[in-house]
Chains A and B, each alone.
Chain A
């Protein structure tokens, strides 16, 4: 059971971190200035990526990664790492949409001031725009994180023991289902409430520097 909790936590946290990085990159690609064909390629890549990952169920992505892609590429890594990758890539698609909204909500003057002082596009994004964008979308990112935690239960499809699987096993070996499953629900609830609390805290801390 502890093993299950640990795996769930690893997959959710590492998945979200990876998803966050991927999402920021994708959103930045999408918002690259320039109208020339090559300047828009990264944006097209984002479109394709988002369409693929949002258009197919998480379980299917996980199964493809585990049974098709990695065997074909000859990659052999622990199933937990596979799950992290799959969740990271999947949540990257969602986070990129969230971040895009967040970036667009940052005053254009901030970018201009960054560029005018001699920062390149990347540095302006990293140092000035993204921090403000993240602050603006923390509540939404929090929701995404909660969804991710709950969705991690599908990893048992590739034989990773997560929280749900652990409790299923308890149920199966004791023929006692009511208590383990209610406990399982309670644990998820505690985790989610914990995250929500953290998000609220982060929000308040970040708002401290804000107007009023």
Chain B
């Protein structure tokens, strides 16, 4: 399960993600659609920390991928100097009020007005650190469990196909060279590209490259696959073969998050569709709900343009 909790992402003053929360259960195929610039790629990249969220947390199977966001933990906020100061003031102002009610009010205010400072005292820091230490999964381990496929493919240009497929599992000591080669050849055979095993990426077509990039991720035996518009940079006649492979993966039960402009594919393969607009999830639901009975005006507008 991938849990995105209240994620914000700013690039300088540009607010690209605003309070995005999304949970992807094992086995789900979540299609993320929306206009260009709405933050789809950024959301995907926050999941494997290619971008670090400005606020919020990402959890992978109950393990923390990002740093701790104190705003998500009232018990941590309650250790802050700011909280203690505000509570003391509030108690003075209304001595009769229950302390619990005051505390809740102040925590809500701290969250709303973003009042936490860089240094909030040692007990605050300790509590954050303890939570972090208890739950953190090293990012490189998390990434091995989440394969990623890019719009511009990014096969390793200095390696031939086989090396592209086996370098990571072998040099990370997940498989022996023999095992990795066997897996790689089996998967290449499955996508009908076994004879390309010694070619360099530059000698392959766009569609072949993208399918091999997908296989490269599969060679790490990931539990999740993140796709960022895998067919958008391809010539139209090559889109089909890539979508076909993704469909097969979906049928195999892979958990997938797919940013895509292929509405037909989303409708057919996704178990859930998320519509992003202006850095927020504007609507989500089953493909039937999203495509059949959209509620959000922007979604209707978007669909009328792309369908």
Q: Interface residues, chain A, CB within 8 Å of chain B?
A: 107, 109-110, 112-120, 123, 127-128, 131-132, 135, 209-212
Using known A-B contacts A116-B143, A117-B143, determine if residue A110 contacts B156 with beta carbons closer than 8 Å. Answer: yes
B interface residue count range (under 10 / 10 to 19 / 20 to 34 / 35 or more): 20 to 34
Query: Which among B144, B156, B200 is the interface contact of A128 at CB below 8 angstroms?
Result: B156
Q: Does B167 contact A (CB under 8 A)?
A: yes
**In the complex the two chains form, is A112's CB within 8 Å of B50's CB?**
yes
> Does A116 contact B158, Cβ atoms closer than 8 Å?
no
Instruction: Contact check, B171 vs A209: say whether CB atoms are below 8 A apart.
Output: no
Closest A residue, CB atoms, query B148: A116
A110 and B171 alpha carbons, distance in the complex (Å) = 17
Chain B residue at minimal CB-CB distance from A109? B154
CA distance A135 to B158 in the complex (A): 9
Q: Is the CB of A114 within 8 A of B156?
A: yes
Chain B min CB distance to A71 (Å): 44
CA distance A112 to B154 in the complex (A): 8
What residue of chain A has the Cβ atom nearest to residue B157's Cβ? A132
CB neighbours (8 Å) of A116 from chain B are: 48, 50, 143, 146-148, 150
Can you add 8 more A-B contacts, CB < 8 Å, to A116-B150, A118-B143, A119-B140? A113-B154, A116-B50, A117-B216, A118-B144, A120-B140, A127-B156, A128-B156, A211-B202
B positions within 8 Å CB-CB of A: 48, 50, 140-141, 143-144, 146-148, 150, 152-158, 160, 167-168, 171-172, 200, 202, 213, 216-217, 220
User: Which B residues are in CB contact (< 8 Å) with A117?
Assistant: 143-144, 147-148, 168, 216-217, 220
List 28 contacting pairs A-B, 8 Å CB cutoff, sorted by A: A107-B154, A107-B157, A109-B150, A109-B152, A110-B156, A110-B157, A112-B50, A112-B150, A113-B154, A113-B156, A113-B213, A115-B50, A115-B143, A116-B143, A116-B146, A117-B144, A117-B216, A117-B217, A118-B141, A118-B144, A118-B220, A120-B140, A131-B158, A132-B157, A135-B158, A209-B160, A209-B200, A210-B200
CB-nearest residue of chain B to A113: B154
A209–B199 Cα gap in the complex (Å)? 8
Within the complex, what minimum Cβ distance (angstroms) separates A115 from chain B? 7
Chain B residues near A120 (CB-CB < 8 A) = 140
B155 touches A132 (CB 8 A): no
Given A112-B50, A209-B200, A211-B202: A119 and B168 within 8 A (CB)? yes
**A131, B150: Cα distance in complex, Å:** 21
Q: B93 to chain A: closest CB distance in Å?
A: 40
B171 close to A123 (CB less than 8 A): yes
Q: Is the CB of B171 within 8 A of A127?
A: yes
CB < 8 Å neighbour of B155 from A113, A123, A127, A135: A113
CA distance A131 to B200 in the complex (A): 14
Residues of B within 8 A of A132 (CB): 157-158
Pair A209/B156 contact, Cβ less than 8 Å: no
A212 to chain B, nearest CB (A): 8
Q: Which of B50, B156, B200 has the most CB of A within 10 A?
A: B156
Of all chain B residues, the one with the shortest Cβ separation from A123 is B171
What is the CA–CA distance of A111 and B202 in the complex, to the nearest angstrom?
18
**Residue among B156, B158, B168 with the highest chain A CB neighbour number at 10 A:** B158
Closest 10 CB pairs of A and B: A113-B154, A118-B144, A109-B154, A116-B148, A209-B200, A131-B158, A211-B202, A118-B143, A117-B168, A118-B140
Tell me which residues across on chain A come within 8 A of B148, comparing CB atoms. 113, 116-117
Contacts of B147 in A (CB 8 A): 116-117
* Cα distance, A119 to B140, chains bound together (Å): 6
Residue of A nearest to B216 (CB): A117
Taking CB as reference atom, which chain A residue is nearest B140? A118
**Chain A residues whose C-beta falls within 8 Å of the C-beta of B144 in the assembled complex:** 117-118
Min distance, Cβ A129 to any Cβ of chain B, angstroms: 9
Q: Which residue of B lies closest to A129 (CB)?
A: B158
Chain A residue with Cβ nearest B174: A118
Contacts of B172 in A (CB 8 A): 118-119
Name the residue on A nearest B226 (C-beta): A116
Q: Most chain-B CB neighbours within 10 Å: which of A107, A110, A132, A209?
A: A209
Distance between Cα atoms of A120 and B172 in the complex (Å): 10
Docked CA distance A118–B145 (Å) = 9
Q: Which residue of A lies closest to B151 (CB)?
A: A109
- Shortest C-beta distance, A51 to chain B (Å), equals 30
Residue of B nearest to A208 (CB): B200
Contacts of A210 in B (CB 8 A): 157, 200, 202
A110 / chain B contacts, CB cutoff of 8 Å: 154, 156-157
A211 to B153: give the CA distance in the assembly, Å: 15
Residues of A within 8 A of B152 (CB): 109
